[in-house]
Amino acid sequence: MHFLVTARYLVFAAFIICNAILASAAVWNQSLVPSSARISHLDIYLTTVGALGLFLTFSIIFVELIRKNAPTSRVYFEITWCMVFFVMDLAAAAALTAVGPADMCSNGETHPVGGCTSVRVLLGFTWLCTFILLIYLVLLLLLTYINRNNESIPKIWQCPIHNFPPLNLSRPPSITLPRFTPNEMAQAVVVTPRRPPTAPGLQSFGLDAQYQIEHFHPPESPPSSPVSPVASPADPLHRNPSSAGNAQAAVALYPRFISSAYVPSDPPQPIGPRAQSPPPLGDWPRTHPPLRIKRKPVDRAVSPTRPIGPRTRSRPLPPDPNREQENL
């Protein structure tokens, strides 16, 4: 049971007591004054307000005992009846304060016995009931405003009082600030440089203390520059056909005297695929490499003085007439 439920039960108890006393004191005061007096109308009003308050309180308790999360336990219903009875009690207390003491407690006139006492009882409990309802109403409105963005309660006005989030009265822990004293101030410490220890067995291998072994470190390669992609000759042929529309849309952004001088040009005709030319002499490997032809083996029995080659027949030379004349 959280704070709001406890406060609600206490308000119910005080409201029942105040309304019971108000109704009884109003009936008692009405029996003491004549019906023509001004305060007699206030007695009827206070009797009605007290009876309605008792009827409403007992009805709420009875309904909530029978049904769980009844409409009478909703936040909107609780705020409504508290506001209505606060206004009614405030009006009764203000009218009774202005009329009651002047008619029933003045010294210059004769009054019935007990008339002033009944008026004072009505004044006290009327104002008490008004302040109780005011405090409870402010508490309900304040908690409703605080929890208006609570994710666990999507509809805060329809939330039952029993399921209302409790009021967290615990204070957050106080933040302690750091305090420094002269004795606790950090002192500067001079750190002497030390040589990092080397792994055992790697400093020297039977050499003098002046020699050291340096490990091989590969040279750092220069950072490779990013290679820009080379556009192939066929790239301009596969452009987006909507470039003409984009150009016209871009020309529309210029002034009229510039856009009027723009003459759209026809897109370039695509060039057909080139015929494959034979590879150059030094472009290897060739697409059709030459085939090797097997030669016939050479006969080893042939004389070395005999020339190797195709055999030719010797033809006789024709007779020379000049040579024949010399012989004669």
pLDDT tens column, 110-156: 566 667 788 888 889 999 999 999 999 999 888 888 877 776 666 77
pTM of this structure: 0.49
Kindly tell me if the per-residue pLDDT of 181 is higher than 70. no
8 A C-beta contact, residue 130 and residue 86: yes
Does 72 have pLDDT greater than 90? no
> Can you tell me the mean pLDDT for 77-85?
92
Domain residue ranges of the chain, discontinuous segments joined by +: 3-105+112-158
Q: What mean pLDDT do residues 180-187 have?
A: 55
% of the chain residues with pLDDT over 70: 48
User: b/e string for 108-141 if b means 16 or more Cβ within 10 A?
Assistant: eeeeeeebbebbebbbebbbbbbebbeebbebbe
Q: Supply the pLDDT for residue 50.
A: 92
187 compared with 26, residue with greater pLDDT: 26
pLDDT tens-digit map of 233-248: 444 444 454 555 666 6
pLDDT for residue 7 is more than 80:
yes
pLDDT tens per residue across span 297-314? 655 554 555 555 555 555
Cα-based angle 262, 267, 271 (whole degrees, multiple of 5): 155
Separation of alpha carbons 89 and 53, rounded Å: 10
